[in-house]
Structures are given as structure tokens and as C-alpha cells.
Amino acid sequence: MSGPRRSGIGRINRRAVGWFIVATWLVVVAAHVRREYFKPPAVRLAEGALALAPGTHFYRIQMDGATIGLASSSMDTVPTGFTLIDQMALDVPALGSSQRASARTRVDLGRSLEVSRFEFDLESTIGRFVVTGEVRSDSVMAIEIDAGGGVERMEVPWNRDVALAAALPLRLAASGRLRVGTEVTATIFDPSVLEPRDVVVRVSGQDTIIVADSVSYDPATGVWTVTVYDTVPAWRIEESYGGVRVSSWVDGDGRLVRAESPLGFRIERDAFEITRAAWRESQADTTAGSGYGSLIEATAIAAGVTLPGGAGPDRLAVRLLNVDLVGFDLDGGRQTLRGDTLVVAREAVDPTASYRLPYTGGGEAAGELAATPLIQASDPRIVEAAREAAGGSDAPVEVARRLNEWVYRSLRKELTASVPSAIQVLEARAGDCNEHTVLFVAMARALGLPARTAVGLTYQGGRFYYHAWPEVWLDRWVAVDPTFGQFPADAAHLRFLVGGLARQVELVRLIGRLELEVL
């Protein structure tokens, strides 16, 4: 009887050992699967980033068939991770001349492609706009802004998932999500508007793009030609934010191959020598800057009627077609929106107001008195110019009128590709509607007169053009226009948004879509 019992016990022991081996194997496999497929995002990014190829690419910037600029993008490996440097220079031809703008962005990335530091430098005929940022902790980015009035500092909330635009496709590539159908929501910090924004990023297609690989120079003709082409597998990425959609193509490393801007720009990877030659040829075209130029004309909207010149109309009704109007500041004050019909009536300004300067009341107007990094209302130079223009008056209506006239007469009318700063505009005494507006708003606030920026459309010569102008508080918001010297502004100023650069970006979703019908 002892034998059978030992045999039964042996079978049980063997079965237990077998289950132990299987369980151990499952634990090992599960650990391996967890390690390989459920790694923390930072670990997966760090491993994927090791496969990204460093290097430099050059790009041609085109508009309306002409090469108007040159760009480059380089990525290098450094002991702490990666450095990404994007540079761009372009000429904006308009109003009989060409305005040069140059931008440079440097982003220092950690091994997991997280931002540790960045520098953004935009230089135009108005001056330089420089923003630097450095991550000080897991939750704070320290920002320094130099817009001509001395360095100003601020802090913005931060975490390792916030990216700059150029680094976002790199993350998709490194994390293995550069696949058709991938859709992610990401937070991008834009140094030009000093604010983060949430974007929805979708990989919507894959194709092969042919680009120049090698070029040669013919001394007899002085012409560069492509000798070898390369085929680049590319993925189409669509970024959507605030109703704006931007499309681009990137290669397997997340590096840009081609991009199209809603403003009409087209950026394509090309050989440096050929792009530079094409740019120089375009610069020699003296007709490119005639009229408002292709940049402005490409975004203009036909009015279909001729409106009164001079002081402009006192009342205007238009239908706004083919766009979603939700989110715009169309209704309120002198504007009434009913369905898709907008009615604008020029304000009748009473020469007196209920207060004297500086404004000490509360409400909405009180929030439009502060200085900002670009509206340096407390700078002594702005204060001095404002007092000079006001001529000692403390009557809000009279001061607003005098400021409007002073800015109108003091600034040359030039199209400028810049991030406008009141100090730089005051010193340069030139600019387009953005420069006129930022200087007016800064001078008004310096005197305690509440003022804010409005953007939208205005009528000129049979077409509506995108435009900016101030609104001042004269017991209600009143539109004025120092660019055209109108006080108050005529009813052909159609306000879509109120606010700074971060809000003004939303106008892009109208471009190429909005249609107007004057009633």
C-alpha cells in the first residue's frame, strides 16, 4: 500500500513542479511584456530618440510662385540630449518695397525629447523680439522677454509633456506613433505669443516625396542644377487648434519635408544652392512689391460693391458666409449679429465722458490699463510721448482724439513682418496697422485711458482686408483707427476678435474660407 501512495504523491509533486515552472514562465513573460510594451513614456521616448538621425535640411519658402525666403533646420546630439535649431529669412514685398524678417529658434531637448531650454529671436525692420525660456522645476518655465524696453520676466506653468512646435513630430517618430490614423492631443508653447495652446495632431496619410539630393554648378551659365534626386517616405500631419488647421509632411525622423500655411506660404525641402539662387532672382523683381503685395492680396475678400470713400460708411450690413462664427467677438457694442448677418453702426461720440483721466472706475475697462511685455505703458518713453500728444488734457474723448491723430501723423505706413512692441514702434516711427495699434494702446494706457486691440476686416478699394485697430473706453468701447486717421472708425471695420496675439491667431481659420455679401 505504501507504493501506490508514493506514486500518487509523486504525480502530485510533478504536477506542482510543472505548475510552478509554468507560473514562473508567465511571470517572466509578463515582466518582459510590461518592460517592453508598458514602459513609462519618457523611457520609450529616450530609447526611440536614439534612432533619430541628426543632420541639417534646407527649405525654400514660396508664395504666389515666387521664392521669398530660405529656411534651415538642424538637429545635433549633445551629452544631455539634443539641440534643434530652426532658422528662417524671408522678404515680404508690398507697398513698393520689400521688408526683411529673420527668425531663429533654438530648443534644447533632454534624452526623452523634453524641453529644457529655448531661445526665440525675431528680427525685422522695427527691431528685435527675443524670448528665452528655461525649465526651473517640473512645474515652472522661467521666461525672459526683450522687446526693446528692457528685459521683462514671467513664469508659466510647465510639465515635461509641453513641447515647442518643431519638437512635436520628433516625439511622434521616437514614440513609434508616426502611423496613419494616430491622433494625439498635445500642448505646444508658442514663444511668439507667449502662451501655450492645446492642439490635436493627426497622422492622416503617407506618401513619397521627391527632393533634391545633389546639385552641380555650371560656370558657363552660372546655374545650379539638380544631379541626383532622392525619394523620401513622408507622413502627413494635421494640427488643429482653435478652428485653425495646419498641414505638413515629415519624414521618418519627424523632420519637416513640406508645409503649407493658411496664409499662402509653401515650404519645401530643397538644396541650399538652388534655393538661394531662386531667392536672389526673386529679389531682383522690382514689380513684386507693387500694391499691397501678394501676402495681403492673397487674403483679401471681394466686397462685390463700392462703398463710400473718405470718412467711410456710418452703417453697414454684411452676411458672413462659409465659416463657423462660434467663438468670435462679433456681437456687442456697435456690432449686432443675427444669424449670419452682421450690422455695424459707427458710434456717435459725445464730447464729454463721465470720468476724468486717469480712469479709476472698475468693471471691464479696468482690465485694459495694465502694461504688458509688448504694450510697455509704464515705460518713461511711452509716458513722455503720450503726455506730449495729449497736450495736458485729462478729458478722455479729447485725449483719445489727440492720440489717434498723433499716431496717424507720426508713423510711416510700412508693411512689417514683426511681433510689434510699443517701444520699438515709437523709436522706428513706422509700421502697419499692428504697429499703429500697439503704440496707440500703450500711450492710452500710460495716461490711464483704457484701450484694447480689435482685429477683423476693413474695406479698401473694393475689397476687405485683415486689419487691426484700437478700441477706447469712453463710457463704452469706441473703435478708432490711427492707421487711417479715423475717429471714430467707420462702419466698414468688422470686428472679429478682441485681444492680444494669442487670440489674433484665430483669424487664420477665416482665411481662404470666409465670404462676404454686403447687403
The tens digit of pLDDT for each residue in 194-252 reads: 888 899 999 999 999 999 999 999 898 889 999 999 999 999 999 888 777 889 999 99
| Confidence (pLDDT) at 35 | 43
Distance CA 329, CA 316 (A): 17
Please report whether residue 226 resides in a domain: yes
Q: Mapping DSSP to helix (H, G, I), strand (E, B) and coil, where does residue 315 land?
A: strand
What predicted TM-score, i.e. pTM, was given to this entire model?
0.85
If DSSP states are collapsed to H, E and C, what string results for 397-463? HHHHHHHHHHHHHHCEECCCCCCCCHHHHHHHCEECHHHHHHHHHHHHHHCCCCEEEEEEEEEECCE
Q: Which residues constitute the domain of residue 308?
A: 301-518
From 283, 318, 346, the end of a domain falls on 283
Please report whether residue 397 resides in a domain: yes
Same domain, 240 and 352: no
Number of domains in the chain: 2
Please report whether residue 474 resides in a domain: yes
Same domain, 241 and 349: no
Local confidence band at 18 (pLDDT 50, 70, 90 cut-offs): low
Q: Is 1 exposed, middle or buried (0-12, 13-18, 19+ CB in 10 A)?
A: exposed
If DSSP states are collapsed to H, E and C, what string results for 145-208? EECCCCEEEEEEECCCCCECHHHHHHHHHHCCCCCCCCEEEEEEEECCCCEEEEEEEEEEEEEE
Local confidence band at 501 (pLDDT 50, 70, 90 cut-offs): confident
Among 52-56, 70-74, 137-141, which stretch is predicted with the lowest mean pLDDT? 137-141
Please report whether residue 328 resides in a domain: yes
Same domain, 217 and 309: no
Please report whether residue 318 resides in a domain: yes
Same domain, 271 and 379: no
Same domain, 348 and 234: no
Residue 84 · residue 109 · CB < 8 Å: yes
Same domain, 176 and 86: yes
From 240, 257, 283, the end of a domain falls on 283
| Confidence (pLDDT) at 36 | 43
**Per-residue model confidence as pLDDT tens digits over 376-412:** 999 999 999 999 999 999 999 999 999 999 999 999 9
The region that residue 334 occupies, defined by phi over 0 for left and psi between -120 and 50 for alpha, beta otherwise, is alpha
From 222, 248, 283, the end of a domain falls on 283
> Greater confidence, 21 or 369?
369
Residue 341 has pLDDT above 70, yes or no: yes
Please report whether residue 212 resides in a domain: yes
- Those residues whose C-beta lies under 8 Å from the C-beta of residue 372, and which sit 6 or more positions away, are 500
Distance CA 55, CA 253 (A): 11
Same domain, 428 and 492: yes
Q: Which of 366, 365, 355, 425 is nearest to 394 (CA)?
A: 355
Same domain, 503 and 390: yes
Average pLDDT, the chain: 88
CATH of the domain at 396: 3.10.620.30
| Confidence (pLDDT) at 34 | 45
Distance CA 270, CA 257 (A): 9
Q: Mapping DSSP to helix (H, G, I), strand (E, B) and coil, where does residue 131 land?
A: strand
| Confidence (pLDDT) at 23 | 56
Element (H, E) at 142: strand 140-146
Total Cβ atoms within 10 A of residue 464 = 22
Total Cβ atoms within 10 A of residue 146 = 17
Same domain, 193 and 62: yes
Total Cβ atoms within 10 A of residue 232 = 19
Distance CA 314, CA 345 (A): 6
Residue type for 444, please?
A
Residue 442 · residue 431 · CB < 8 Å: no
Same domain, 476 and 339: yes
Same domain, 369 and 468: yes
Please report whether residue 347 resides in a domain: yes
**Per-residue model confidence as pLDDT tens digits over 100-113:** 889 999 999 999 99
| 517 to 329, 370, 479, 492: CA distances (angstroms) | 19, 38, 22, 13
The torsion defined by the Cα of 424, 427, 429 and 434, in degrees rounded to 10, comes to 10
Q: What φ, ψ does residue 461 adopt, rounded to 5°?
A: 55, 40
Please report whether residue 77 resides in a domain: yes
Same domain, 108 and 253: yes
